[in-house]
Amino acid sequence: MINFEEELKKFKPSLEVDQAEQAIYSQELDDMTDLLQKMMQEASKRNR
Amino acid sequence: MNVYDSIIARSNLYYNQGLECAKLRNLTGAISALRKSVHCYKGNIDARNLLGLCYYEVGEYVLALREWVISENLKPEENPAAGYITEIKSDVSRTGKYSQCVKRYNQALEYAKGGSEDLAILQLKKAVSMNPKYLQALLLLALLYVHQGQYSQAKDVLRKVGKVDVNNLQAQIYMEEVKQAMALKTSRGKKRNVSDDSVEYKSGSDTIIRPAYFKDNATISTIINIIFGIVMGFLISFFLVVPGVRRHATADSAAKLVEANNKISTKNVAIRGYQEQIDELNKKIEDAEKNSSKSEGSMNLYKGILKAYIDFESGEYEKAGEALAKVDDSKLDKDFKKSYEKLKKNVNDRYLRILYKEAARCYNQSELEKAIETFETITKIDEEYGDGDAMYFLAQSYRINGDSQKAIMLYQRIINKYPDTYKARNAQRYMDQLKNQ
């Protein structure tokens, strides 16, 4: 038996056309390679 | 293999998984794998482009656009994302349709959260009719149908979801719920009494529920139906047909009235024209009559002159003088006037001489009335005839005949006109005598 209220919470409003620009700018683009680079920079700082 | 290479390899692995899922139309799975792929390595252009395509397929155009724009920025050249973006931008009608679709879905979501499920279903039906692959709208519609117990409709919608996205987990959960509910309903339905039963069948996407059979109260219902039909027929004819006939008749009358008015106007114009013609002809007649009377007058004038001339030539100077006396010489033409004056002078010379002779005879024989009459005729023609003798003897005749006033008037005129003559002196003396009487 599904819980209607809980299921309803899963639905989010779709982005409208005028929100496209905002959606692009707010997109988090850091990937694992960026994280790796940050880790390496912090490690080299600690070694100094 | 270093860490960097292993991350790239991991990204490619997720991309391959996503590609496999997409080929099998497992779009939810594909989106999940491809998102992981681009999180591992944002420069995986193929994965990002495919992610955009998957979003596009499930109706999330803005998310698709977002992925393609990022992809194009990361790799501006030889990137199919540029083509996708251009295609979307060029199709304005599709963009407008998508915008409407999304607005309806968002509105429906608000209605559903606010408890207005019927309104939400209406909005979602419209959204789905505009974009049958709009996954979120389909799933929400299915959920609402399930919640309202409309399992058949929910089942249909979930089948459509299955065509867009195979193995959608949410859809599978709802479908399971629907199957259980329908099975339960079927088992309950078998227990029902036959008399309470109803028949349920599908017409397109709608489910029709009607009583299993109809009770027929044949005779009474037939009579009632006939009476109802007659009453309805009467009412329809009274409210619909009669006003139409009246309106038609009124329109006909109005048209005839307009036509009659037009005819009257036309005839009035014709009558006015005829009246003008009559006036014109009357004027012509009047002019002709005037010309005719003028011609007649002229004719009489010249006849009188001609008679005077004939009388003069035949020696009847008195008749000639009388005829000329009747002529109104003011109406004579200028060319003819000279001849007329010559004739008049000749006639009058003779005529006045005869008259004066006759007047003198009457005066001498004391026939004063006749003398006065003749002298008056002479002075009318020529007041100064005989150097005023005619006027003098007329005054004398008046005095002797007892008409003192006329006599005094003429004496005064003689005194004024012929001063220092015997006639003036005599006139003065007689005038004094008359005044002293």
Mean pLDDT of chain B: 87
Q: Does B39 touch chain A (CB under 8 A)?
A: yes
Q: Report pLDDT for B30.
A: 94
Q: Are residues B116 and B203 in the same domain?
A: yes
Determine the structural domain holding residue B85 and report its residue range.
3-90
* Same-domain check for residues B110 and B195: yes
The shortest CB-CB distance from B40 to any of A23, A24, A31 is to: A31
Is residue B321 a part of any domain in this protein?
A: no
Q: What is the mean pLDDT of residues B292-311?
A: 83
**Per-residue pLDDT, B195:** 45
* A2/B112 CB distance under 8 A: no
Are B69 and B128 within one domain? no
Q: Which of A1, A10, A11, A40 to mutate to test the interface with B (most CBs of B within 10 A)?
A: A11
Distance of CA B185 to the CA centre of its chain: 69
- For residue B199, give the DSSP letter: E
B339 lies in some domain: no
Residue numbers in A near B72 (CB within 8 A): none
How many domains would you assign to chain B? 3
How many Cβ pairs within 8 Å bridge chains A and B? 86
| pLDDT tens digits, A1-48 | 788 889 899 999 988 888 888 888 887 788 888 888 888 899 898 887
In Å, how far are B20, B355, B357, B373 from B362, measured between CA atoms? 168, 10, 9, 10
pLDDT at B194 over 60: no
Q: What is the largest CA-CA distance in chain A?
A: 60
- Among B3-12, B35-44, B144-153, B203-212, which is the least confidently predicted range? B203-212
- How much is the pTM? 0.49
Amino acid, res. B163: K
Do residues B356 and B384 lie in contact, with contact meaning Cβ atoms separated by under 8 Å? no
**Cβ of residue A43 closer than 8 Å to a chain B Cβ:** no
B15-51 pLDDT, tens per residue?
999 999 999 999 999 999 999 999 999 899 999 999 9
Burial B78-101 (b: 16+ CB within 10 A, else e): ebebbebbeebeeeeeeeeebeeb
Residue boundaries of the structural domains of chain A: 19-48
pLDDT single digits (tens) B223-257: 999 999 999 988 988 888 888 888 888 888 889 99
Q: What is the CATH number of the domain that holds B381?
A: 1.25.40.10
Instruction: Choose from B34, B58, B62, B170 for mutation: most chain A CBs within 10 A.
Output: B62
**Contact check, Cβ <8 Å, A32/B66:** no
Q: Is B34's Cβ below 8 Å from some Cβ in A?
A: no
Q: What is the mean pLDDT of residues B295-305?
A: 82
Question: Is the CB of B318 inside 8 Å of chain A's CB atoms?
Answer: no
User: Tokens for B104?
Assistant: 């309806």
Q: How far apart are CA B375 and CA B359, in angstroms?
A: 6
For residue B92, the model assigns a pLDDT of: 83
Nearest CA in chain A to B113: A8
Same domain, B60 and B113: no
* Structural domain contains residue B216: no
In a domain, B264, yes or no: no
pLDDT band at B434 (very low <50, low <70, confident <90, very high): confident
